Amino acid sequence: MREEPAQIADTLRDAQRGGRGAFALLVEFHQNMVYSLLVHMLGEEAVAEEIAQDVFLELHKNLNSMESPVHLARWLRMVASRRGIDEVRRRRFRAPQGIEDLPEPRIEPEVEDVLLSARLRRLLERLPAKHRAIVVLRYQEDLDPGEIAVLLEMPVATVKSTLHRALGMLRRACERAGLGSQEFTQREAV
């Protein structure tokens, strides 16, 4: 679903007045962004779906504080990022899953994307939560360091240094795993 910015603003106002159909349209318009962000942070579709639902429930509770479509999108990214970071931190204290708890195997999409590579995804999952969130926001959501700093409420210099450290960690892990690190050098230049 692709709407024009004016239509999104109208839909937001309708939803704030209580229009359930309008809220459903807002969810439909933003669900791919929220879900994709969480899947790339967490690596698990089922958990990403669950957290995405929580994010939209939180949006419903805070709908009247949304000032514009831009504010709404920024707020959704911020809440999804924070919930993703919280989930990564919680996982450290959980017991590993048994094979019966794992999701069914699925066919990977044929789209060639560095972040969708299974080995790279596993390496990304080893990063600390904030490092992972910053990498995903930068390269999957294509946000610049200033926007990431606003979302995660941290100084821009901290975002840049954390991103630099995270990419270094990924590069070294790729080298240890026998993967080329050219993708990171090329992506950093972007």
Backbone angle region of 111, left / alpha / beta, with phi > 0 → left and psi within -120 to 50 → alpha: beta
Domains and CATH numbers, the chain: 1-106 (1.10.1740.10), 111-190 (1.10.10.10)
For the chain, give percent helix, strand, coil, nearest 5: 75, 0, 25
CA distance 77 to 71: 10
- Contacting residues for 177 by C-beta, under 8 A, at least 6 apart: 119, 123
**Per mean pLDDT, which range of 27-36, 112-121, 125-134 is the poorest?**
112-121
pLDDT digits (tens, 9 = 90+) for 146-170: 999 998 989 999 999 999 999 998 8
CA distance 146 to 124: 22
Residue with tokens 């996982």: 91
Residue 175 pLDDT: 80
Please tell me the predicted confidence (pLDDT) of residue 33: 92
Q: What is the rounded average pLDDT of the residues 99-108? A: 56
Cα separation, 24 vs 127, whole angstroms:
35
What is the secondary structure of 121-169 as a DSSP string? HHHHHTS-HHHHHHHHHHHTS---HHHHHHHHTS-HHHHHHHHHHHHHH
- What is the pTM assigned to this prediction? 0.61
Residue 78 CB contacts under 8 Å (≥ 6 apart), including other chains? 151, 152
| Reported confidence tier of residue 35, pLDDT bands at 50, 70, 90 | very high
Residue 98 has pLDDT above 90, yes or no: no
Higher pLDDT, 109 or 88: 88
pLDDT-above-90 percentage for the chain: 40
Q: What percent of the chain has pLDDT over 70?
A: 77
Q: How far apart are CA 99 and CA 52, in angstroms?
A: 25
pLDDT higher than 60, residue 1: no
